[in-house]
């Protein structure tokens, strides 16, 4: 397995309600657990920063889906690199607002 990390920043198109954010996190955590993806999500003032860690092909497929998500705009790749070890190994999706 080729361990990889992607980190991006994006702007949310419309404000997100806290219950919608919780629902999104439940879905993301289940998907990530099933696909051996770890990472974290930060959200503040309409901006997301997310780190995804996992098998490179799986991470790239997920990132392509995120790129097509109409809730995001102004996507900027901040990191795209191989990893020696996971930084967020115990988190399927840590979250801070």
pLDDT digits (tens, 9 = 90+) for 26-49: 999 999 999 999 999 999 889 999
pLDDT, position 82: 96
Q: What angle do CA 13, 46, 72 make, to 5 degrees?
A: 35
User: Could you give the residue ranges of the DSSP H alpha helices within 41-86?
Assistant: 56-67
Band of residue 96 on the pLDDT scale cut at 50, 70, 90: confident
Contact 77, 60 (CB under 8 A): no
Predicted confidence (pLDDT) at residue 67 exceeds the cutoff of 90: yes
Asked if residue 1 has pLDDT above 90, the reply is no
Is the pLDDT at 95 greater than 90? The verdict is no
Q: Average the pLDDT over 5-19 and give the result.
A: 93
């Amino acid at each position: 397995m080729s361990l990889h990390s992607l980190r991006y920043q994006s702007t949310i198109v419309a404000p997100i309600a806290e219950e919608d954010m919780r629902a999104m996190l439940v879905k993301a955590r289940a998907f990530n657990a099933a696909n051996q993806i770890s990472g974290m999500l930060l959200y503040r003032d309409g901006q997301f920063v997310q780190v995804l860690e996992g098998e490179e092909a799986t991470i790239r497929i997920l990132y392509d889906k995120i790129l097509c998500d109409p809730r995001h705009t102004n996507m900027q790749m901040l990191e795209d690199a191989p990893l020696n070890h996971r930084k967020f190994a115990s988190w399927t999706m840590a979250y801070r607002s």
